[in-house]
Chain A
Amino acid sequence: MAYGAPEPPGQEGAGARPPLRTPAPGRAEAPAARGALARSGLVSADRWFVAATAGLAAGAVLTFAALVALLVAYAAPAVVRFGLGFLTTTVWDPVFERFGAAHLIYGTLVTSAVALLIATPLGVGAALFVAEYAPRWLGDPVSFLVELLAVIPSIIYGLWGFFVLAPFMRAVVEPFLQSSIGQVPIIGALFSGPILGRDLLIGGVILSIMILPTIMAITREVLRAVPDTQREGMLALGSTKWEVIRYAVLPYAQGGIAGAAGLGLARALGETMAVTMVVGNSSSAISPSLFTPGYTMASAIANQFTEADKEIYFSAIVAVALALLLVSTLVNLLARLLVWRFVRGVGTDVAA
C-alpha cells in the first residue's frame, strides 16, 4: 500500500516520499484500500478516536448481552421448575401456580402464519406490479402508498382494528366464511365455533396489513436485482409477460422473496399492541378454529408483566419473553441470511 504516515508539514523533501497513487478506481477496491488505511497512518489522537467509536460500538454489544443475561436470570426459576413442559402445556394458572406457555406459542404461530399467508401473495403481487408491470409514474406512487403503511404506529393499527376491522369481520366476513368454507369437511374446522369478534383470525389480518410493506419493499428490491438478461432470454423465446415472471424472474428471486417473507414474519412475531386489542386475550385451550379468542406471547407479556405479583408468576412471564426473544432472533438471522445473500445493501427506507 502506497500511503504511509502523513508527514508533518515542513518536512517536504526531507525524506524519500512514496510515489503518489491514482485514486482507487472502483468501489470494489475501496474496502481493501480503506482497510489498509485503517491500520496505517494513525496519529495518537486517532487512537483515542478509534477507541472512542469502538467503545460506543461496544455499547450495543454490552446492551444486548445485558439484556439476554437479565432475561435469563429472571426467567431461571420458572425454567428450572417447569422445564421443557413450559413449552408444551397450556395451563396458565396463577392461583395454583401452574404455568405452561403452549397456547401462547400457538397463538403467536397461528396469527403469524395467517399474516404471512395473506401478506406474502399480496406483497409479492404488489411488488411485481411496481417492478414489472407498471410504468414509473404509476409504480412509484403505489409503492410509496404501500410503504407508508410501515410508517403508521402499531397502536393506530390496534385502534383501527378494534373499532373498524373487528366489527366488520364479526358482522360480515366471519359469518360468510363459516357459511361457505366452514361447511367443507376438515378444512371447515378452521371456521367453526361461535363468532365473538375477538379471535386469532382478526389478529392475523391486522398483522398481515402491518407486514405487507416490509414484504413488498424487499421483494421489489429483489425483483429489481434480477438481471435483465434473464427476462430478455425468455422474451426472445416468445413468452408472455407472465411466463417471463413465472419461469425466469421468480425462480431467480425465490431466495430473496423467502427472505422478505422471513423479515415480515420476524416483525409479526414481536408485534404487541395491534394484536392485543383484537385477539381476545384469553387463555382458552388450543383449538383448531380461527374464531377462538387467543393469546400471543407478546400480548401476554404486555398484559401481565406489571402485575405478576408472585415470584414464580413473574418468572414465568419473563420466560415467555425469553422464548419470544429466541424465536424472533432465529427467524431474523435466517431471513437476513437469505436476503443478504441475494441483494447486497437493502435500502434504508425498508422497515425491518
Chain B
Amino acid sequence: MAIPLQVARRQPLRRPLSAPGPREWQRRAVDGVATALVTAAALLGSGVLLLILGYVVWQGAPALNLAFFTERPLPYGEVGGGVAPAILGTLLMLLVAALISVPLGIGTAIYLAEFGRGHFARLVRLVIDLLAGLPSIVVGVFVWALLVRHVVGQYSGLAGAVALAIIMVPIMTRTVEEILRLVPSALREGALALGVPRWRTILGVVLPTARVGVITGVVLSLARAGGETAPLLLTALGNQFFSFNLFEPMAALPVQIYTYAVSPYEDWHTKAWGSALILVLVIGCLSLLTRAVTRRGPF
C-alpha cells in the first residue's frame, strides 16, 4: 500500500488508515462513558467534603467570639455564654488519655516490631486489630461497667479519659509498629555490634530515628479520639461548670455539640456549629500535619 503523503511528511492523517467500524465506536463510547462516570464519582466525593466543610464554616463563624471561648454556658434559653468548660475538658481528657495510651501503645508496638515472634505476638496483633474495629459505644459500655459503676463510683473525667485511651491504643500501635519496622536493620546491627544492649538500642537508636513517625502515630490517635462522642456520654457525662477534677463529671466538646444540636434553642444551634468549627479546625489541622509529615517520608 502506498504511504500516504501526510505520513511521509510526518503530518497527522486526516483519515485513519482503516476506518473504524461500528464495533470500534461502541467500544470507544463505552470507554467515554466510563471515563465520565469515574470522573463524576471523584468530583462527587471531593465535592461533598467541600459542601460539609463550607456549611460548618458558614454556620459556625458567627458563633465565635471571645465569650464563646472563655465563658461557661448560661441557663437554658438565655442567650450568651460560651463553651469554655467543654474545650478545657476535652483537652484535659485527651491529655490524660495520652498519658495512659502512649506508654501502652508504643510499648506494644516495640514488642511487636522488635521481639514479636510466636503465638503471643500473633494474639496481640489480632487483639489490636479487633480493638481498632470496636464500635466506640461498646467501649463506652465497658468503661461504664468498669469505672463508673465500680472503681471510681461516679461519672468522671477519668472514665472518659480511659475510654478515649482504649480507642487510641490500637491506632497508635499499628502506626508505630509500621514505622519501627521501617527503621533499617543496619542501624540496630551497628549498635549491637558496638556492644549496646537490646533495650538501649531500641530506646537510644531505633526510637529516636523513628521519632517523627511515632509522633505522627500519637497525633493521629489524638485526632481520632478528640472527635468521639458516644463513649463520653456514658462515662464523663458533662459539666456546665469549670472543673479540672478528674473524679467528677467533665464536659467535652463533642458531647456539648450533641446537647446543643438537639435542643430547640436557636442560640444553642449556632453554638453547636461554632463548636463544630473549632473541632474540625483543630482535628483537621492535626491530621493535615501528620499527612504532610508522612508524605516526606517517615524519617
Contact A329 B234 (CB under 8 A): no
Contact A305 B128 (CB under 8 A): no
Contact B130 A156 (CB under 8 A): no
| A325 CB-CB contact with B under 8 Å | yes
Q: Which residue of A lies closest to B185 (CB)?
A: A30
> Which A residues are CB-close (under 8 A) to B178?
345, 348
Main SS at interface, chain B: helix
CA distance A130 to B39 in the complex (A): 9
> Which B residues are CB-close (under 8 A) to A124?
41
State whether A158 and B258 are in contact (beta carbons under 8 Å apart), knowing that A59-B104, A298-B137, A332-B130 are contacts in the complex: yes
| B290 CB-CB contact with A under 8 Å | yes
Stretch at the interface among A4-12, A77-85, A170-178: A4-12
> Which B residues are CB-close (under 8 A) to A91?
none
- B228 → chain A, closest Cβ, in Å? 7
In-complex Cβ contact of B137 among A8, A58, A302 (8 A) = A302
How many inter-chain contacts with C-beta < 8 Å in the A-B complex? 302
Contact A151 B146 (CB under 8 A): no
- Interface residue tally for chain B (C-beta within 8 Å): 106
| B55, B108, B283 pick with most chain A CB within 10 angstroms | B108
CA distance A65 to B133 in the complex (A): 15
Contact B31 A348 (CB under 8 A): no
In-complex Cβ contact of A149 among B49, B117, B186, B230 (8 A) = B49
| B152 CB-CB contact with A under 8 Å | no
Give the size range of A's interface with the partner: 35 or more
Contact A61 B49 (CB under 8 A): no
> Which B residues are CB-close (under 8 A) to A241?
31, 34-35
| B48 CB-CB contact with A under 8 Å | yes
State whether A123 and B138 are in contact (beta carbons under 8 Å apart), knowing that A53-B108, A59-B104, A159-B273 are contacts in the complex: no
Contact A153 B279 (CB under 8 A): yes
| B79 CB-CB contact with A under 8 Å | no
Contact B175 A67 (CB under 8 A): no
| A269 CB-CB contact with B under 8 Å | yes
Binary interface encoding of chain A residues 28-62 relative to chain B, with 1 for a CB under 8 A from any of its CBs, else 0: 00100111011101110110111011111111110
| A154 CB-CB contact with B under 8 Å | yes
State whether A270 and B136 are in contact (beta carbons under 8 Å apart), knowing that A54-B115, A123-B45, A305-B141 are contacts in the complex: yes
Cβ < 8 Å to A, chain B residues 208-267:
216-217, 220, 223-224, 226-230, 233-234, 254, 257-258, 261-262
- B293 → chain A, closest Cβ, in Å? 10
Stretch at the interface among A194-202, A225-233, A271-279, A287-295: A271-279
Q: Which residue of A lies closest to B59 (CB)?
A: A163
Main SS at interface, chain A: helix
Q: Which residue of B lies closest to A65 (CB)?
A: B127
Q: Which residue of A lies closest to B130 (CB)?
A: A329
| A114 CB-CB contact with B under 8 Å | no
In-complex Cβ contact of B145 among A41, A70, A126, A306 (8 A) = A70
| A110 CB-CB contact with B under 8 Å | no
- A242 → chain B, closest Cβ, in Å? 4
Stretch at the interface among A93-101, A140-148, A179-187, A253-261: A140-148
Contact B34 A122 (CB under 8 A): no
| B96 CB-CB contact with A under 8 Å | no
Q: Besides A133-B39, A332-B130, 7 other CB < 8 A contacts?
A: A42-B197, A46-B197, A154-B229, A155-B258, A155-B279, A270-B136, A306-B233
A-B pairs, 4 with minimum CB distance: A153-B227, A270-B135, A125-B41, A56-B107
A-B contact pairs, 24 of them (CB 8 A): A6-B193, A6-B195, A34-B188, A38-B115, A39-B117, A41-B192, A48-B199, A60-B104, A60-B108, A61-B124, A122-B44, A129-B39, A149-B48, A154-B227, A155-B229, A155-B257, A162-B261, A162-B262, A163-B269, A243-B27, A270-B133, A324-B135, A348-B174, A349-B294
